[in-house]
Amino acid sequence: MSHQSDLIAEDISAYLEAHENKSLLRFITCGSVDDGKSTLIGRLLYDSKMIFEDQLDALETDSKKHGTQGDQIDFALLVDGLAAEREQGITIDVAYRFFSTDKRKFIVADTPGHEQYTRNMATGASTADLAILMIDARKGILTQTRRHSFIASSLGIRKLVLAINKMDLVEYDEAIYNNIEQDFLEFAQELNAGIEIQAIPMSALAGDNITSNSANTPWYSGPALMEYLETVPVGDERMAAPFRMPVQWVNRPNLDFRGFSGQIASGTIKPGDRIKTLPSAKETTVERVVVHGGDLKEAVAGQSVTLTFADEVDTSRGDVICAASEPAEVADQFQARILWMSDDAMLPGRRYIMKMGSKSVTALVSGLKYQIDVNTLQDKPGKTLALNEVGVCTLGLDQPIAFDPYDINRETGGFILIDRLTNNTVGLGLLDFALRRAGNIHWQALDVDRETLAEQKEQKPAVLWFTGLSGSGKSTIANALQKKLYSMGKHTFVLDGDNVRHGLNRDLGFTDEDRVENIRRVSNVAKLMSDAGLITLVSFISPFRSERRMARNMMTDGEFVEIHVDTPLDVAEQRDVKGLYKRARAGEIKNFTGIDSPYEPPQSPEITINTVNSTAEEGADQIVKWMQDKGFFS
């Protein structure tokens, strides 16, 4: 038995060696539901096996000796198996499959056609060289067809196979094929320039025009699908691009070795090359290119290596090592295209985690310039993005990053957005360019700093953030607290929700989007007042935890004090000093917190004040005592 296993291992080794030096084509199958993606992949896997069957004779012969028919794959069963995966929900993730012919190796990303899984199609397309866009000849071009075409072209795919499938169900009608091809070519004029489109009439189930031209379509003179896939040029753009390598980790197994490890995103590198690390912009020379088993004379895009430098250069995880003569850009504000991938809408003004390569930073989506209609590819106005919608936004980061525009380098221009609370991926983005002001605005150092200003006032700066329902007593308590602090000789200022809306935020309404922007602006003002050494009292409903967290993260550690004015809705509604609850119940006020807009109470506030059982004066005393205990007063 061991001898037979050795033979099989030798056959596998010989097979892998025969295929090692072949070119690799990564492609994706996409399109609408039931257009035949699984059937096509089943056909490709089955027919490609037949193409290199002679290389598997030893394996097949051995399996037959032991009474199995493992290599005699039934095509219908294979297709059924792929379809079964869809039924079981496996296609929520992208399924990658490998196959090979005697001319080329292939990796295909099998992605679902359902609209709710558009995010998975985008994941597969992000690393593909080519897309096979499936179209049911009976249905023609659908919304999902357009959406997938747009996403594929936006993600840098420049070769597209228009697979007009199920031609057997329309009697191989040439006119139907021509009409679909013409409709798509008209639509494709709005896609990114430079896309090559090859239309092929086919029946994945019957095998028409898959591995060879079919007698059922004598009017078609183009290549069969497999012929096209085997011969389409795969120019490695990454190899020709300037050298880029994001640092994944700093490798220091002992005091005598310090290297920087990662996968080369583009270009080539060899000992003696001059490099620059970003964002620090420090330059040095590559001393060694190390891989498992020894050093390389040269490494290329796609290889994982460890670089050592001739000089001590401060380089950390997330930094980008670049060719010194052609470095990446560095900025902290951008225009970007975003595909939204969450059921919860994207709200401008909300902060997310932006992950690009091994670098993670905090990103503020500061504005949505416009949405992109996937049917017409035209711009349209919008304030937010819903699931599967695409828009052009402006991003602001909490620190500069190294990048290339996505259209120049897919590896260093693409990113994902992650929800800071759930840690779910909510968006896929492509950087277009840095905003000019990002490079032109620099922080001005001042001799009189925030510590000096606070010391002058004999107090520690603080942002006392009052949150609670309308009518809970926030403003009343803040007013009482300010009087007490004033009598103690403390320097304070109150930012009240209603007062701020008379000036700074008079242009904002009460939608979720406007509420987020309302808090963003107030948080920045509170930060400036904190820098001035003041004790700032902020009285806002601020219904969303994520925005209160955003405000906290803007402040110096220990300065943000969340005060939950905890009043039940029924009690606040009974008070209704301003008559707002009555109007909201009557439908006269929309998006009113507690009625038709949610309030998310704090989970662990520094202070909780129950106004049902205590007065405003007692609440103010409670806060003063807490501040004294925490050392806010000198």
pLDDT digits (tens, 9 = 90+) for 434-490: 885 555 555 566 778 888 888 888 899 999 999 999 888 899 999 999 999 999 999
45-54, 368-377, 414-423: the lowest-pLDDT one: 45-54
For the whole prediction, is pTM greater than 0.95? no
Tell me the range of 32-46, 212-226, 573-587 where mean pLDDT is highest: 212-226
DSSP E strand stretches across 137-192: 159-165
User: Token digits for 104?
Assistant: 């080329």
Query: Where does the pLDDT of residue 83 fall: very low under 50, low under 70, confident under 90, or very high at 90 and above?
Result: very low
Q: What is the mean pLDDT of residues 340-361?
A: 87
| 3 state SS of 217 | coil
The H or E element that residue 191 is part of is none
- Quick one: what percent of the chain has pLDDT higher than 90? 31
Together in a domain, 37 and 164: yes
- Identify whether 634 is part of a domain: no
- Identify whether 445 is part of a domain: no
Q: Of 231, 249, 283, which residue sits at a domain end?
A: 231
Together in a domain, 466 and 436: no
Together in a domain, 302 and 374: no
Q: Is-catalytic flag, 13?
A: no
Residue with tokens 């297709």: 79
- What rounded mean pLDDT belongs to the chain? 82
User: Token digits for 279?
Assistant: 């964002």
Q: Identify the CA nearest to 630 among candidates 460, 502, 510, 485.
A: 460
Query: Where does the pLDDT of residue 526 fall: very low under 50, low under 70, confident under 90, or very high at 90 and above?
Result: very high
Query: Where does the pLDDT of residue 64 fall: very low under 50, low under 70, confident under 90, or very high at 90 and above?
Result: very low
Number of CB atoms found within 10 A of residue 250's CB = 14
Q: Write the DSSP symbol of residue 505.
A: T
Pairing type for strands 159-165 and 105-110 reads unpaired
pLDDT attached to residue 39? 85
The number of folded domains in the chain is 4
CA 196/CA 523 separation, integer angstroms: 49
Q: Which domain holds residue 464?
A: 450-629
Q: 305 near 269, Cβ under 8 Å?
A: yes
pLDDT attached to residue 94? 61
Together in a domain, 428 and 472: no
Together in a domain, 33 and 119: yes
Tell me the range of 53-57, 92-96, 125-129, 476-480 where mean pLDDT is highest: 476-480
Q: Identify the CA nearest to 118 among candidates 146, 85, 88.
A: 146
pLDDT attached to residue 440? 54
DSSP E strand stretches across 249-358: 249-254, 257-263, 268-269, 274-278, 282-291, 294-295, 299-300, 304-309, 320-323, 329-340, 351-356
User: Token digits for 46?
Assistant: 């089955």
Together in a domain, 92 and 189: yes
Pairing type for strands 351-356 and 359-372 reads antiparallel
pLDDT attached to residue 14? 55
For 479-503, the pLDDT digits (tens) are 999 999 999 999 999 998 888 888 8
CA angle centred on 419, ends 260 and 320, rounded to 5°: 20
39-48, 349-358, 619-628: the lowest-pLDDT one: 39-48
The answer for residues whose C-beta is within 8 angstroms of residue 596's C-beta and 6 or more apart is 584, 590
pLDDT attached to residue 301? 86
33-47, 405-419, 495-509: the lowest-pLDDT one: 33-47
Together in a domain, 80 and 224: yes
Together in a domain, 244 and 302: yes
Q: What is the mean pLDDT of residues 398-417?
A: 88
Higher pLDDT, residue 85 or 326: 326
> Of the residues 542, 546, 604, 614, which is catalytic?
542
- Identify whether 607 is part of a domain: yes
The CATH number assigned to the domain holding 377 equals 2.40.30.10
- Quick one: what percent of the chain has pLDDT higher than 70? 85
Q: Of 256, 291, 323, which residue sits at a domain end?
A: 323
CA 372/CA 375 separation, integer angstroms: 9
Together in a domain, 270 and 191: no
Together in a domain, 374 and 281: no
What are the contacts of 218-225 at 24+ separation with CB within 8 A? 219/174, 220/174, 220/177, 222/198, 223/198, 224/200, 225/44, 225/132, 225/161, 225/163, 225/200
CA 160/CA 155 separation, integer angstroms: 12
pLDDT attached to residue 451? 84
Q: Environment class of residue 447 by beta-carbon count within 10 Å: exposed (0-12), middle (13-18) or buried (19+)?
A: exposed
CA 428/CA 131 separation, integer angstroms: 19
The CATH number assigned to the domain holding 53 equals 3.40.50.300
CA 362/CA 130 separation, integer angstroms: 33
Would you say residue 3 has pLDDT above 60? no
The H or E element that residue 415 is part of is strand 414-418
CA 200/CA 220 separation, integer angstroms: 8
Mark 134-146 as b/e (b = at least 16 C-beta within 10 Å).
Answer: bbbbeeebbebbb
Tell me the range of 73-82, 107-116, 230-239, 398-407 where mean pLDDT is highest: 398-407
pLDDT attached to residue 536? 94
Together in a domain, 218 and 310: no
